[in-house]
Amino acid sequence: MGIILVYYTIIAGFLVHAPRLAILHESIRNLFFHVSIWFAMVILLIISVTYSIKYLINPKAIFDNMASEFAKTGIVFGLIGVVTGSIWARFTWGSWWVNDPKLNATTIALLIYLAYLVLRLSMENEDQRARISAVYNIFAFTAMIPLIFILPRLTDSLHPGSGGNPGFNVYDDVDNNLRKVFYPSIIAWTIMGFWLTSIRIRIKNVKEKIFELESKNLF
């Protein structure tokens, strides 16, 4: 299902008639990729945090697995979002990276989640690793949310939707075609993220089963 939606997004994204605007021209099509990937990333990270909270309430290994896998996929999506945003910036603003609060905030968020991965790697004992990384996940999430959503709106920036710029609703008032592709694309990328994560979780479960069976065979 996810594959179908992603194909729809990619193909329609390039073919749909997009309104031409002064600076953006055709690059408005990036809306479908960049913004939807960010939406999907936020959704994935929210799910990761809920699994962390669930793990603290009820320590089962499966919750910890899901929390970490969702966080990993969230990081990958975040990186893709940064790359697509950077390419877009090159075309519209002229440089690969600007000193913009939303960009800074998202870099910090990515650093936080990469630190989460390092923390997981540095602990051997499984229960301890699960518990402490769950605590860090929740702590980092509550520190990150004010960053990404509140700070950029308070300050001026080039980024659309914050500071002095109108959000994208102004642009596609003229022609509703963009919305037809935008909303499904959010769903498409989110489903993509879910699919990637669920495959990783299944691989992990299979590896654990193999490990158990092997250790049983030894005795």
Binding site for other proteins (CB under 8 A): 56, 104-105, 108-109, 111-112, 115, 118-119, 122-125, 127-128, 131-132, 134-136, 138-140, 142-143, 146-147, 151, 154
Contact 197, 40 (CB under 8 A): no
Shortest distance, position 104 Cβ to other proteins, whole Å = 8
Q: Which is nearer to other proteins, 77 or 141 (CB)?
A: 141
Shortest distance, position 77 Cβ to other proteins, whole Å = 18
| Rounded (5°) CA angle 92-94-97 | 100
Place of tokens 């969230």: 74
Shortest distance, position 134 Cβ to other proteins, whole Å = 7
Q: Which is nearer to other proteins, 61 or 151 (CB)?
A: 151
Q: What's the rounded Cα separation, in Å, for the pair 48 and 67?
A: 4
Q: Which is nearer to other proteins, 118 or 218 (CB)?
A: 118
Contact 37, 77 (CB under 8 A): yes
Q: Which is nearer to other proteins, 127 or 208 (CB)?
A: 127
Contact 87, 33 (CB under 8 A): no
Q: For residue 155, what are its two tokens? A: 């300050």
Q: What's the rounded Cα separation, in Å, for the pair 158 and 155?
A: 10
Shortest distance, position 102 Cβ to other proteins, whole Å = 13
Shortest distance, position 103 Cβ to other proteins, whole Å = 13
Shortest distance, position 114 Cβ to other proteins, whole Å = 8
Q: Which is nearer to other proteins, 31 or 42 (CB)?
A: 42
Which of 50-58's residues contact partners 24+ apart within 8 Å by CB, and which partners? 52/133, 52/134, 52/135, 52/137, 52/138, 53/134, 53/138, 55/130, 55/131, 55/134, 56/131, 56/134, 56/135, 56/138
Q: Which is nearer to other proteins, 147 or 201 (CB)?
A: 147
